[in-house]
Structure 1
Amino acid sequence: MSAHAAQRIIRRETHSGRSLGAILVALLALGVAAWLGTETVLHLLGREALLLAPGTPVALLAEPSGTELPAWATAVAVGVLILGVIAILAALLPGRSRARSEALDAAAVVVEDRALAARLARSAQLAAGVPAQQVSVQLSRSAARVLITPRSGVPVDPERVREAISAEPELARLSPRLRLTVAVNPSGKVGT
């Protein structure tokens, strides 16, 4: 497999599609266009507008007189503007899936965050000597945070756990690299 093909596969697997967002923005634009067309036809036929006559918003904005828009209308307009910008950005910007790639010579390998978190939790559990239920792993785009709740009265060395996790070969090959943080809960758990 060529390096270019491997990069394409990794990109496809680590970025989520935005077709749903694009479809929603297109439907919203289509709805607004249909409403404006309907209002224009009703205005040309001399009938009452459904919601707002086509020239009314432009006249309100262009009119330099002392008439002000009501506060609720301004708040609604700002809210719609913010939602519109968010919707357009969500439709156009690339999404990220919960997966990471591994750097291997002969293959394109994608590791899901759930599988990686389980692997890190298992390494931390073995190094700390605690049951699996007392280890939790949180993954973000660039960091892994391991939280260990020790047995009551049995200390856990976070540096030893960090070294055990860092020794995992999968962690060294991940892209993007993860910043590892190991935290030990100050209060232990009794009876485990």
Structure 2
Amino acid sequence: MPVPALRLPSWVWVTGLTAGAIVAVGFLALEADNGVHPHPTAAASPKPAASPKQSVTPEAPPSTPGLPEKSGTGRRIVYSLSADRVWLVDADDRSRRTFTVWPGTVDPAPGTYTISVRTPATTGSDGVAVEHVVYFTVTSGINIAFSNAVDGSSPPPAPAGTQTGGIRLHKEDGAALWAFGATETRVRVVE
């Protein structure tokens, strides 16, 4: 006589499969915890291990250009025409910040000037909305000033024959120069 097949209810199957999955996940988690744990920067930049007699020296930070010769003394803004670079210099003659700029088509003559007018925002002679405008001289009837584009863009090349006196800065550098350069702050322009 045939023996009837034993049927298990579905909940028994589901419970058994769930318990098996939990055991498998627990086992895998335990194995992962006992595995190798690389240091986050080890894969990005492996460094040689130092021996007891040898030390590893840190890499030198990129050098920044020093102040040009004959750039004056005391608290001032130094603008180098040949390097297209500005330095913000504290009263103790230490450079606080330096950055490159995009000069206009009209350069100021080398010499010492003072900031005469500050304008929070306006439209530049190239039609671009600018902010942090710091005027310090006039050359051939063209106002010479530091500023940055409101949208942070670099100026497009000026059309041939156009005279622009704006010395355009990166947005964060414009904010730094604005904070540093109050009215009557000296600006030293050097070759």
The answer to which structure has the higher helix fraction is: 1
Length-normalised TM-score, structure 2: 0.24
TM-score by length of 1: 0.24
Structure with max Cα Rg: 2
